[in-house]
Structures are given as C-alpha cells and as structure tokens.
Copies of this chain bind each other. A is one copy, B any other.
Amino acid sequence: VEAEDTNALRAAVDRLHVADLADLIEQLSHEQRRILIAALGDDLDPELLSELHGPVLTEVMELIGPRGTAEALSQLDTDDAVYVLNEADDEQQREVMAELSVEDRLMLQSGLSYPEESAGRLMQRDVVAVADFWTVGRVLQYLRREADLPDRFYEIVVIDGDRRPVGTVPLDRILRTNADLPIGMIMEPAEHLVPVDMDQEEVAFLFQQYRLVSAAVVDRDGRLAGAVTADDIADVIEAEVEEDAMLLGGVAETDIQETVWTTTRTRFAWLFVNLGTAILASAVIGMFDAAIEKIVALAILMPIVASMGGNAATQTLTVAVRTLATKELTTANARRVVLKEALVGAINGVVFAAIVGGIGFLWFGDWELGLVFAMSMIINMVAGALAGVMIPLVLDRFGIDPAIASGVFVTTVTDVVGFFAFLGLAALLLL
C-alpha cells in the first residue's frame, strides 16, 4: 500500500474474499485507506460497503463519492442497502438519495421507514412466493424461468389470494416430492410469521428457539413483506449479547473505531455516575472519621469488605442479567433464584468471614477487630448477592434494560453497606 503500486494492490485484493477485504480496510490508517480505495476505483465490489461498520463506512462512502455509493447501493440486496444508507450521515444520505433512480429511492425510503433494530430493517424484500393451488411441477417451472429471484433462498412461501402467507415449503422438500402434488399439500403451516415492526432481539429469539433458517415477514395487514434469513440473525445474536456485556462494563458499544473525542465523551457519562456513587460511599466513611482517627486499621481493612461484597454482587448480577435476557429467569422462578443467591452469598460470606477474621487478628493482633471484620463480611456478601439479583429483577419489571443500570445501583449498595457495617460495628464494639 505504502508504495501506491496500483496494479499489485488490485491483484492482491482480487484474491481476498470481500469480508476479509473489509476487515483489512478497517485496520488501515486513513491515508492507507484513501490509497487503497483509489487503486480499486471502479472495481470496487458493492458488497464491500455492507461489510464495513460505523466511521470507516462513512469514510469510504466519502472517498467513493455520492455517485459511486448510489451505484453500489443499487446493486445490493435491499436489507444491505438500507443498512449502508442508515450508517451514512445526514448530508451523505441526501446526496446519495439524489443520485439514485426513483424506484431505488422509494424502495430504500420505505426500508428506512421501519424502526431501527426491527424485522423490517433485517428483511430481504425479494421473496419467492407461490399460490397454494400450484403443483410442485409448476413451482419448479416458475423457478427455472423467472430471472428476478433473490440471490439465495432456502424456502418458498405459500400465499393466499390476498398475499397473506399460509405456509412455507423448505427447498429440500420440493426436491423430494412428486411433481404433480399441489404445493399446499406439502407445506408446513405458517407458524412463525414475523411482523415488520418486531424487535430484532425477538426475531433472533424465534430463530434460536425454533431452529429456523428463514422466516416470512408480514406487514401490518398480515401480507407478505419479505423474509429474514439465518445469516442476518447470526449478527443480531452476537450484537445483542455483546450489547449487554458492554453495558455491564460501562461502555455504550465497542468503540474501537471511534475517534478519541467521541470515545471520551461516551465514557464520561458512566464515570460521572460512578463518581456520584463513590462520593456517597465516602460520605458514609466520613460519618465515622472519629473511629478511624483512633483505630487506623479500620481504614486499612475497610476496602476489603467493600471489594468482596462488590465482587460477590457482580457475579450474581452477571448471571441475573444474562438469564433475564435469555428468559431463563422469569417471574415464575424469581423467588427460588433470589433465595438460592442469598444462600450462596451467606455460605461464601461465612467462609470468607472465617478467613478474614483470622487475617485481621494476625495482622493487628486484635481479636475484636477480627470479629468486626468477619461480621461485616457476612453482612456485605449477603447484601451483595441480594442486590445482584433483585435490582435487575426490579428494573426488568419496570421495563428498564437491567444491563444498562444495574451495575451502578449494585456497587453503590455494596460500598455503602460494606463501609457502614464495618465502621458502624467497629464504632459500636471497639470504642
């Protein structure tokens, strides 16, 4: 790339799968990207755009210009074209739209009209649909003659006179069936129809639960609007699980491609909330400044109580948030799970109380201090376990995503309870 050797570059790129080329481009610097895109020129595979993400995608669109982008979009499947256009900034979107044919523009505008992360955004518009009275032979003939079919499909949708799906037929069943049977005889009833405005997380759940490879999407009147396939769902599943993991870690998304400035701003909010809770915990310590002045060992040991409670809580929280997302934790078994977590917290609390009680005694030679240390450890680990499972349950009940807000509440509980229990017991028993 450095040498700007156009021909060698083209040859190297030709050997790459478009998805690998996209990964390569995301790892280059801005300058290298400019050179590479210029070298590719008109040879650029339109699919490349649908494999890029976020800031790199808008940068590449900038490099190939509105006309080049419009050209590429017109060759993509509708779901991919809508994805690319959605990532463009407002000005790019306007410029590209102006370069599109009227037909493509209307199609993309209707695609963009579905809410983000809905089935309407995931679906491919072109679907192979046939009437239920057609014979298998007629379907085969239609497939062989019709040129305007989707690139790849795995089942055929059977529709009634109003374009409402009544069933689906996997392709292997068509291949295994006698040509003179009507297709309505071999179809499976359309059980798992996806409404256009269903959230993509729900769609992914359907695919996983019923092991689907393809599902018909219907509009608000129940008419066939498109189809979602398993290859799109793989990305959704990954994105949804990743989203929860990122939120638990206090970040909005994997922002590795974002600028320093954007990253700093998005992370600031979470750190600011954390500062508030840390000050709250410190205010609790401030209540006991007299005790600390007399026994400096309290200041040395108190972070251990808070830290162990916080870790026990994080363990419980991680499991609770995940099992709420997969619907393993529900109102039906909530009581049982809360009881179990409290018990786990209590048992580990007692074990660690014995350990830290001994440490407290050996370190400072004071068995009363060891006792206070041990007692506060049990209290905080049970409190942590309870907070770790109950806070996400309550947030979920109120319709708030537990992944986004649980962490703050839970560590606040264990810091406050930890410091209060340890210093309070010390003030009561040791002074």
Contacts and interface: CB of A to CB of B under 8 A. Distances in A.
A65 interface: no
Interface string A287-330: 00100110011111111101110011011011100110011111
Q: Which of A153, A303, A318: most chain B CB closer than 10 A?
A: A303
A171 B174 CA distance: 10
Interface residues of A, number: 110
Contacts of A76: none
Interface string A254-286: 111100100110011011001100110110011
Given A172-B154, A213-B154, A278 B251 contact: no
B172 A319 contact: no
Contact of A319 (B20, B153, B255): B255
A76 to B, nearest CB: 13
Contact of A233 (B177, B234, B275, B282): B234
Contacts of A278: 303-304, 307-308
B271 A308 contact: yes
Contacts of A249: 248, 314-315, 317-319
Interface string A16-54: 010110010011010000000000000000000000000
A132 interface: no
Q: Which of A19, A175, A292: most chain B CB closer than 10 A?
A: A175
A379 to B, nearest CB: 16
Nearest to A171: B171
Interface in A232-252: 233-235, 237-238, 241-242, 244-246, 248-251
Contact of A285 (B229, B245, B299): B299
A293 B319 CA distance: 41
B315 A270 contact: yes
Interface of A: 17, 19-20, 23, 26-27, 29, 140, 143-144, 149, 152-154, 170-172, 174-178, 204, 207-213, 229-231, 233-235, 237-238, 241-242, 244-246, 248-251, 254-257, 260, 263-264, 267-268, 270-271, 274-275, 278-279, 281-282, 285-286, 289, 292-293, 296-304, 306-308, 311-312, 314-315, 317-319, 322-323, 326-330, 332-333, 336-337, 340, 343-344, 347-348, 351-352, 355-356, 359, 415
Given A246-B322, A260-B347, A271-B312, 10 more contacts: A27-B332, A213-B231, A237-B241, A249-B319, A256-B323, A274-B311, A278-B307, A285-B300, A298-B299, A302-B303
5 contacts: A143-B175, A143-B176, A251-B315, A268-B351, A278-B307
